[in-house]
Amino acid sequence: MIASLKGILIGKTKDLAVLEVGGIGYEVSVAPSTMERLPSEGKEVFLHVSESIGMYGGGVTYYGFLTSDEKIIYNVIRNNVAGIGARKALDLLDKAGKSLPDFRRAVQEKDIRTLVSLFGFTKKTAEKIVAGLQDVLGEMPSMGSESVGPMTSAFEESIQGLVALGYRETLAREAAQSARALLGPSSSSENIIREALRHLSGRS
C-alpha cells in the first residue's frame, strides 16, 4: 500500500495532480483547496496518500493530501459517515477545511445549522456527519498536529487485512464499520477483522 508520494509535479487538471516518481507518473485525486496550494508544474511536491480500490476488480485510485492531519481527517470521515465513498469523502473534507476547528465544534455540539450555513453541507449530509462522527472525534488530530491516530490506523489495518483475504474493499469497509460499531472505537485490528469475518459469513 502506498502511503505517500514525493516527486515532480508534471501536470494539473481540475481535480487531478500528476506526480512523476522514479520515472512513473501517478495520477492523484486532490481537493480543490489542495490544488490551490500545490506548487507550479516542474516543482517537487510531497503528498500523503490514501488508496481506494474500485468495485468489481476496478483499479486503484490515489487521494492526496499536503498534511498528515488532512489524511487522518479524510479517513475518519470516509470510515464513519454512512453512505459516502472515497470521492465524496474528499468533497466533505474540502468543505470542512474552511475551518476545521469550527467543523469539529459543530459536530461535537450537533450544530446542524452551522454545518449547513457555514460549510455548505445539505441538511441530510450534515445529519449524517453528526451521527457518524459524534463518537469518533477523538480520532481526529488536534488541528496542526502531525501525529497519527492509532485508532484510525487499526481500522485501516483491518480493512487491508480483509482485502488481503480476497474481499472487495467496499465490502471489507462495510463489514469493518459494522464490527467496530459493535466492538467500540478503540478495538484492535485483529478483533475488528475477527468480528467482520463473522459479519461477512452471515451474509453468504
* Residue 7 pLDDT exceeds 90: yes
Residue 174 C-alpha cell reads as: 462495510
Nearest residue to 152 (alpha-carbon basis) of 95, 34, 69: 69
The Cα–Cα gap between 4 and 18 comes to 14
The per-residue pLDDT for 202 is 74
The per-residue pLDDT for 77 is 93
The per-residue pLDDT for 169 is 76
150-203, CATH topology level: Helicase, Ruva Protein; domain 3 (1.10.8)
Position 186 confidence tier, pLDDT thresholds 50, 70, 90: low
Orientation of helix 169-183 relative to helix 189-203, angle to 10°: 110
Q: Does domain 69-139 have CATH number 3.40.50.2300?
A: no
Residues 6+ apart with CB under 8 A from 82: 128, 131, 132
The Cα–Cα gap between 196 and 190 comes to 10
Give pairs for 113-116: CB < 8 Å, separation 24+.
none
Q: How far apart are the first and last CA of the chain?
A: 28
The model carries a pTM of 0.68
Q: State what percent of residues in the chain have pLDDT above 90.
A: 41
Mean pLDDT of 125-147: 77
- Write down the mean pLDDT value for the chain: 85
The per-residue pLDDT for 112 is 95
What SS3 state is found at 60? strand
Domains 4-65 and 150-203 share a fold: no
Position 203: which residue type? R
Position 201: which residue type? S
Nearest residue to 116 (alpha-carbon basis) of 106, 108, 131: 106
Q: Does domain 4-65 have CATH number 2.40.50.140?
A: yes
State the pairing for strand pair 60-65/24-29: parallel
Domain residue ranges in the chain: 4-65, 69-139, 150-203
Mean pLDDT of 82-87: 90
pLDDT digits (tens, 9 = 90+) for 56-75: 556 889 999 998 888 999 99
Residue 32 C-alpha cell reads as: 480543490
Question: Which of 3-7, 104-108, 116-120, 137-141 is least confident?
Answer: 137-141
Q: What one-character-per-residue DSSP string does 114-158 give? A: HHHHTT---HHHHHHHHHHHTT-GGGSPPTT--PPPHHHHHHHHH
Nearest residue to 89 (alpha-carbon basis) of 108, 72, 106: 72
